[in-house]
Structure 1
Amino acid sequence: MTTSTAPSVLALPTIDLDELIRRGSLLARVDRKYALSAADAAMALELVDPGTTRVLAIDGVQNLGYTSVYLDSAGLDSFLLAARERRRRFKVRTRRYESNGASFLEVKTRFRDRTVKHRLPGEHLQDGRLDDTGVAFVADTLRGAGIRDVTVRALRASLRVDYRRVTLFHEPTASRVTIDSGLTWWDVRTGGWLSRPELAIIETKSAGRPAGMDRLLWSLDHRPDRISKYATALAAMHPHLPSNKWRRTLKAHF
């Protein structure tokens, strides 16, 4: 258990993955993110209502290990769409769950404030590039989201991030909250790395209206931050990249 995870959270009633997916998959959603110190995150999580909130457990484990690998073009098109706040933007990544070894290829598209996630089970990254099945899936997903001019076959591994995650399910609103900690990034292209063990990223995922966790954090004077586990970390590792969007977050946490 990391310092950002309050003991009271791990003592909440549990929910299994199948039920979480059935009741709160939220593949189309509004995300709000908060970058907090581990101590502030733990303080907020101590106030979570055990009568309305459950914690995801897989094989009895609630603080789960994840590895994500983000893909981008040689010119970092995905990063630049985020940095320049284009209305239509995307991320392509693979995700592996330490608890059971399951892997997925995921595509997240964003239009204005709404995020849509599509996922394909299995390992589709070979030597840093997508296999044919992965290429077809990403191309179809981007085309369906109205995102064109992306040479999917040219995408390759750009940044890997290892972290721990606790996932909460708020029953009254069917919203989810993730708490990421123990974050370490590895630049696949250069071999550089960055670790921020004192940082916790809390993200709320709802159908639109603020979740209970949003209101709890607001009551503690925490407001949503601009942060991306891919783009903000890449900007921190490479100061020559455009980073005005994340200036406050970079100054406070990187």
Structure 2
Amino acid sequence: MSGLEAFAGIGLDAVAAAADLQTRVDTKYLLASDAYRRFRGHLAAGGDWACLDIGGRRRFSYESVYFDTPDLLTYRQHRQGRRRRFKVRTRLYADSGECAFEVKVKGARQDTVKERLPYTAADAARITPEAAEHLAATLWKAYGMAVPPGLEARLRTDYRRHTLVNAAAGVRVTCDEDLRCVSSAGTAVARPVCLVEVKSARPGGPADRLLWAMGARPVPVSKYCLAVAALSPGMRGNPWARAMRECFPGPG
């Protein structure tokens, strides 16, 4: 047995207490579905991992709206590998209707720091005055910078996620599937592939080592940046070339 039913369930409060990780290192991998099932089976066999379970549900639908300037400043920051870069989005948990406004910045050690604000689902595609204040305070604290003008909703990503948790180690593994990207330019649907993220206080733990032993290697990938590159064929996306080939292969 290697499906999600092989894991004990763990509730959201327990996950938050053990492995909330708002400041963390994210190590990302792209796996074919069969490779991910083997990896998940190894975790299940170890007995140290549980699966996030909310009301008997273990796979959840997410909708993320990303905000950027007209010239896509945040995309360009990521493409250029800028140390002072940030990401602004809302995340809607479609199954429950809960929503959050999130600002992600890089910490002093290049770890990811995520600042969250409870949000109303009806406001998911706009930045409210309260969210604008939260964003301004976060960017000023992180980088001493003001909010760039013209931030508006540019695109949305939809996907399904399940989360595996090693509470004792304070580590989470998320698996995103069925990625769909939508903007005014159109829609792009990714081929069947698993975007796996190991979220931990430091890289190189047992989950990473297991993936390395299976031949997987970390890959730079951002769902927002993939979406921009997929929906704007003329947009340079060199850092994500491998991920683009695996997620959105061109004709032929």
With the length of structure 2 as denominator, give the TM-score of the two structures.
Answer: 0.91
SS for the counterpart of 2:197 is strand
- Partner of 1:129, secondary structure, is coil
Q: Which residue is 1:3 aligned to? A: none
Separation in 2 of the partners of 1:113 and 1:66? Answer: 26
Mapped pair 1:23 → 2:18 = yes
Distance between the aligned counterparts of 1:216 and 1:49, measured in 2? 13
Give the structure 1 partner of residue 34 of structure 2: 39
SS for the counterpart of 1:82 is helix
2 CA distance for matches of 1:206 and 1:228? 17
Q: Work out whether residues 181 and 187 of structure 2, in 8 Å CA contact, stay in contact via their aligned partners in 1.
A: yes
For residues 120 and 149 of structure 1, what CA distance do their matches in structure 2 show? 19
Is 2:129 aligned against 1:132?
yes
Moved more, 207-216 or 18-27: 207-216
1:10 is matched with 5
Q: Is contact 2:63–2:158 with CA below 8 Å preserved after alignment? A: yes
Identical amino acids, percent of aligned pairs: 35
Q: Which of the numbers 79, 99, 104 marks the counterpart of 1:103?
A: 99
Aligned AA (1:15): I
Q: Which residue of 2 aligns with 1:206?
A: 200
In the alignment, the residues of structure 1 paired with residue 71 and residue 122 of structure 2 have an alpha-carbon distance, to the nearest angstrom, of 20
Counterpart-to-counterpart distance in 2, 1:252 and 1:65: 22
Secondary structure at the counterpart of residue 247 of structure 1: helix
Structure 1 residue aligned with 2:155: 159
Which string of whole-angstrom CA distances, capped at 9 and with x for unpartnered residues, describes residues 87-126 of structure 1? 1111111011122111000111124631000100122774
* Kept after mapping to 1: 8 A contact 2:178/2:190: yes
Tell me which moved more, 241-250 or 59-68: 241-250
Is there any run of 5+ residues in structure 2 with no aligned partner, and where?
none
Looking at structure 1, the residues matched to 177 and 15 of structure 2 have their Cα atoms a distance apart, in angstroms, of 21
CA distance, structure 2, for counterparts of residue 33 and residue 119 of structure 1? 21
| Superposition deviation, residue 239 in structure 1 | 2.4
Specify the alignment match of 2:63 in structure 1: 67
Name the count of aligned residue pairs.
246
TM-score normalised over the length of structure 1? 0.91
**Amino acid of the structure 2 residue aligned with 1:39:** D
Question: Does the CA-based 8 Å contact 2:90-2:125 persist in structure 1?
Answer: no
- Please give the secondary structure, in 1, of the residue aligned with 2:169: coil
Cα distance, 1:221–1:127 mapped onto 2, change above 3 Å: closer
Shift of 1:18: 0.7
**1:78 partner amino acid:** T
SS in 1 for 2:160: strand
What is the aligned partner in structure 2 of residue 250 from structure 1?
244
What is the CA-CA distance between 1:43 and the residue it aligns to? 2.4
Structure-to-structure mapping, 1:215-234, within 5 angstroms: 215-234=209-228
Write the letter of the residue equivalent to 2:37: A
Distance in structure 1 (CA, Å) of the matches to 2:233 and 2:2: 37
Residue 42 of structure 1: how far off its partner (Å)? 1.9
State the partner residue of 1:113.
Answer: 110
Quick one: which amino acid aligns to residue 170 of structure 1? N
Correspondence 1:196 to 2:190: yes
Summarize deviations over 1:155-187 as a string: whole Å, max 9, x none: 111111111100011133111110000111101
User: CA RMSD of the aligned region, Å?
Assistant: 1.8
